[in-house]
Chain A
Amino acid sequence: MPDQLIFAMEVTLNGLMAGVLYALVALGFVLIYKASGIFNYAQGVMALFAALTLVGIMEGQVPFSHLINAIFGTDLHHFNWSVPALGAILLTMAVMVFLAWAVNKIIFRHLVNQEPIILFMATIGLAYFMEGFGDMMWGSDIKKLDVGLPQGLNSMIDETTYGLLGYGFFIDNLDLVATVIAILLVSVLVMFSQYTKQGRAMRAVADDHQAALSVGVSLNFIWVMVWSLAGFVALVAGIMWGTKSGVQFSLSLIALKALPVLMLGGFTSIPGAIVGGLIIGVGEKLFEFLMGPIVGGATENWFAYVLALIFLVFRPQGLFGEKIIERV
């Protein structure tokens, strides 16, 4: 087999894995948009905030320690304990549920029936607030995140492909874990929305707020639930990306990777986020592999959007999005 073909196969596999990581971020956007019609600009910052909170709890960091020390002249930094990863994840989830409740109570409850652009602007404000709040709460230093996930070359795949093709493929163990988690997450979310009372209520709210209210569905409860689910997805994305790069404020920029995925997969489809992620991941990696050396490289960021735009021309609602027909 020609070397270039073997390399292309390796690139394709890695593209699929990268796509899964993009999809994990995109899922949070889809959940909120599906249930409330809000494009949540703060989703990337939620991933950052969740990861910061997780590391802070694991390391026993005193929240707002800089502020407390500045006001009271104390020298507090850490409690004398650390929390195991699983316990810290559960506690972080509790924080994200509280955040979901607070966001709805303080912001979105007052914006029911407002124009989508107003809701979008509110999420921009929320994003900047949370970035500053997270900074004040946990500090802005770069934190190592280790919840025990394996990372680095998968030796089994390396040796197997070397035996078969004479070249060992590189697949990151972390990407494999992310793939398994993404499959589980999507399966659970799809089953939840299809087969549970709350899931059906969520879909009813997504279809028509007023109609859902008229049959006794609590809009507040559904929104808090959806924002909590988005918070959970943000936590998962934060763990994956934070393990790769350390937990730092650039983590909020991963939202940029989710936008072409959403454009391609549709804003309202959970499976669409996964398929969109895979197409974007493979597309950008293969394009970089084939065309990068010719055009000088660094094609991935812009090519992802080009790919999404090409799909949009033929399916404006995205691959799996709902076609909206509004009658006057």
Chain B
Amino acid sequence: MKLKLISAAVAAMIAAAPAMAELTFTALSYRTGPYAANGIPFADGYQDYFTLLNERDGGIGGERVNLVECETGYNTEKGVECYESTKGTGALVYQPLSTGITYQLIPKATADGIPVHSMGYGRTSAKNGEVFRNIFNYPANYWDGASVAIKHLLDVNGGALDGKKIALVYHNSAYGKEPIRTLEELAKKHGFELMLLPVDHPGQEQKSQWLQIRRERPDHVLMWGWGVMNQVAIQEAVNIRYPMENFIGIWWSGSENDVLPAGDGANGYKALTFHNTGSNFPLFEDIQKYVVGAGKAAGAGDQIGTALYNRGLYAAMLAAEAAKTAQGIHNTGPLTPAQMRDGMENLEITEEKMAALGLPGFGPSFKVSCQNHGGDGLTAVVQWDAGAKQWNKITDFIAPDADVLNPLVEADAAAYAAESGITPGCN
């Protein structure tokens, strides 16, 4: 009898309790291993933003956020294991934070109906939403980065690159090779000579490449590097007295970690970015109040405002905005991955929305559609001030050369569609 009473009481409590639905987001992070120094600030920013939403707003649209973190160590196999072990948690979207993991997840997540957001990495042609229906890479991809770098060089060279020599120092991997095709097309269009200098993983020894740069004296050097390769390249550039203002890195070669070891020598080094840096935005006051002040920060609080922390925060913000869009479309609080995909495909980021979020001027305005999963590719250039130890944004967000990029995206997406048996379309 007593047992029956207890059972009835428990059942009544369960029935009376409000629905405890949560929006589950996953963080495939890497806080350990050789790339932990970069993985930690990104993961902290990602986590802190969702903590802020939970603490300040009670979640997203009344639903609390459940963040499931899985450690990949920046290892593709571990990343896939993370995906397999967490997809059953109701994960709404995956941000793999690795080009290698992204390539592995493209067919898996597509089959499982879970969207993937590879922000500033992964397969560039995933921009074509008619082929890559579950994959998104807004607001910018590597080809956008390559094009904007050349546009910036056009600006600083009076609009002409004829006869100039531009070197690309790149990580000798699928990631590092991504911009080559675009740069080759742009070299044809603008008449500059492209010099390719691969660096083998991990990139601790680059003397040969920088001796070649010293001999051949390219007018500008672009870099697609990662991890220790970045710090060594910047130090070698300092050693050979290469003018740092002529040296531009992709956004993964543009964190404080990359420039600080070279000290004052790194002053003037430039990098591309699709979001702003620093903590001089109203949202960061809320981060201090509701997250750091409440003792709920993901890390020690010393990474706030750094390039990679802000990138993690921006990634979380875009996921949250897509979730809000999905809730609006489907008129519901709890979401399924399919509904989240709809939210991502209809995401629109405007400056008004960014200002309302407390992030005015933080990132570019863009609109996602079925045809365009990559946004407009708007990218800015930042420059390192070694004295103040900070990045300064020196350009507006610049649009890439769509005339060159769109045919490349179409061709690569069409090839993927053919080899995967996909019929492109929006329905």
A residues sitting closer than 8 Å to B (CB atoms) are: 7, 10-11, 14, 17-18, 66, 69, 73, 77, 132, 135, 140-146, 151-153, 170, 172, 241, 244-246, 248-254, 257, 285, 288-289, 292, 296-298, 300-301
| Minimum CB–CB distance for B32 against chain A, Å | 7
A249–B196 touching, CB < 8 Å: no
Given contacts A248-B231, A257-B204, contact A142 B257 (CB under 8 A): yes
B34–A300 touching, CB < 8 Å: no
Enumerate chain A residues within 8 angstroms of B383, measured Cβ to Cβ.
none
Select which of A10, A66, A246 is within 8 A of B211 by beta carbon: A10
B260–A7 touching, CB < 8 Å: no
Enumerate chain B residues within 8 angstroms of A251, measured Cβ to Cβ.
204, 228
B260–A246 touching, CB < 8 Å: yes
A288–B260 touching, CB < 8 Å: no
B211–A250 touching, CB < 8 Å: no
| Minimum CB–CB distance for B213 against chain A, Å | 10
Complex: A272 Cα to B214 Cα, angstroms: 32
B198 adjacent to chain A (CB < 8 Å): yes
Complex: A252 Cα to B228 Cα, angstroms: 11
Enumerate chain A residues within 8 angstroms of B228, measured Cβ to Cβ.
245-246, 248, 250-251, 253
Complex: A254 Cα to B204 Cα, angstroms: 8
Known contacts A152-B239, A250-B204, A253-B202; can you find 14 more A-B pairs with CB under 8 A?
A: A14-B208, A77-B300, A77-B302, A141-B37, A241-B204, A244-B204, A245-B232, A245-B235, A248-B228, A248-B257, A249-B37, A250-B35, A251-B204, A288-B208
A14–B211 touching, CB < 8 Å: yes
Enumerate chain B residues within 8 angstroms of A289, measured Cβ to Cβ.
208
B261–A298 touching, CB < 8 Å: no
Enumerate chain A residues within 8 angstroms of B257, measured Cβ to Cβ.
141-142, 246, 248
A301–B204 touching, CB < 8 Å: no
Complex: A273 Cα to B204 Cα, angstroms: 20
Enumerate chain B residues within 8 angstroms of A300, measured Cβ to Cβ.
200, 205, 208
B227–A250 touching, CB < 8 Å: yes
B215–A18 touching, CB < 8 Å: no
Given contacts A142-B231, A248-B228, A297-B196, contact A11 B208 (CB under 8 A): yes
| Minimum CB–CB distance for B235 against chain A, Å | 6
Enumerate chain A residues within 8 angstroms of B202, measured Cβ to Cβ.
250, 253
A132–B32 touching, CB < 8 Å: yes
Give the bracket for the number of chain B residues in contact with chain A.
35 or more
B34–A249 touching, CB < 8 Å: yes
Given contacts A14-B207, A14-B211, A140-B37, contact A297 B235 (CB under 8 A): no
| Minimum CB–CB distance for A223 against chain B, Å | 30
Enumerate chain B residues within 8 angstroms of A298, measured Cβ to Cβ.
172, 198-200
Enumerate chain B residues within 8 angstroms of A254, measured Cβ to Cβ.
204
Enumerate chain A residues within 8 angstroms of B240, measured Cβ to Cβ.
153, 170
Given contacts A135-B36, A170-B240, A297-B198, contact A245 B208 (CB under 8 A): no
Given contacts A66-B300, A298-B200, A301-B200, contact A245 B32 (CB under 8 A): no
A7–B200 touching, CB < 8 Å: no
Q: Smallest CB-CB separation from B257: which chain A residue?
A: A142
Q: Mark B23-58, 1 if CB is under 8 A from A, else 0.
A: 000000001111111001000000000000000000
| Minimum CB–CB distance for A65 against chain B, Å | 8
B241 adjacent to chain A (CB < 8 Å): yes
Given contacts A141-B257, A244-B232, A298-B198, contact A253 B204 (CB under 8 A): yes
Enumerate chain B residues within 8 angstroms of A132, measured Cβ to Cβ.
32
Q: Mark B231-244, 1 if CB is under 8 A from A, else 0.
A: 11001001111000
Q: Smallest CB-CB separation from A242: which chain B residue?
A: B261
B211–A142 touching, CB < 8 Å: no
Enumerate chain A residues within 8 angstroms of B232, measured Cβ to Cβ.
244-245
Q: Smallest CB-CB separation from A140: which chain B residue?
A: B36
Enumerate chain A residues within 8 angstroms of B211, measured Cβ to Cβ.
7, 10-11, 14, 170
B32–A153 touching, CB < 8 Å: no
A249–B33 touching, CB < 8 Å: yes
B263 adjacent to chain A (CB < 8 Å): yes
Complex: A253 Cα to B232 Cα, angstroms: 14
B197 adjacent to chain A (CB < 8 Å): yes
Within 8 A of A (CB), among B261-296: 261, 263, 265, 295
Within 8 A of A (CB), among B1-38: 31-37
Given contacts A152-B238, A285-B207, contact A245 B261 (CB under 8 A): yes
Complex: A143 Cα to B260 Cα, angstroms: 8
Q: Which of A11, A18, A244 has the most CB of B within 10 A?
A: A244
Complex: A301 Cα to B172 Cα, angstroms: 11
| Minimum CB–CB distance for A282 against chain B, Å | 12
Given contacts A142-B37, A152-B238, contact A245 B231 (CB under 8 A): yes
Complex: A285 Cα to B211 Cα, angstroms: 10
Show 8 A/B contacts (Cβ-Cβ < 8 Å), sorted by A: A77-B302, A132-B32, A145-B261, A151-B239, A152-B241, A241-B204, A248-B34, A289-B208
| Minimum CB–CB distance for A238 against chain B, Å | 12
Given contacts A7-B215, A144-B263, contact A153 B239 (CB under 8 A): yes
B205–A135 touching, CB < 8 Å: no
Enumerate chain B residues within 8 angstroms of A11, measured Cβ to Cβ.
208, 211
| Minimum CB–CB distance for B106 against chain A, Å | 26
| Minimum CB–CB distance for B250 against chain A, Å | 18
| Minimum CB–CB distance for B299 against chain A, Å | 9
A144–B261 touching, CB < 8 Å: yes
B37–A153 touching, CB < 8 Å: no
Enumerate chain B residues within 8 angstroms of A241, measured Cβ to Cβ.
204
Q: Smallest CB-CB separation from B301: which chain A residue?
A: A75
Given contacts A250-B228, A288-B208, contact A69 B36 (CB under 8 A): no
Q: Which of B196, B197, B211, B214 has the most CB of A within 10 A?
A: B211
A292–B263 touching, CB < 8 Å: no
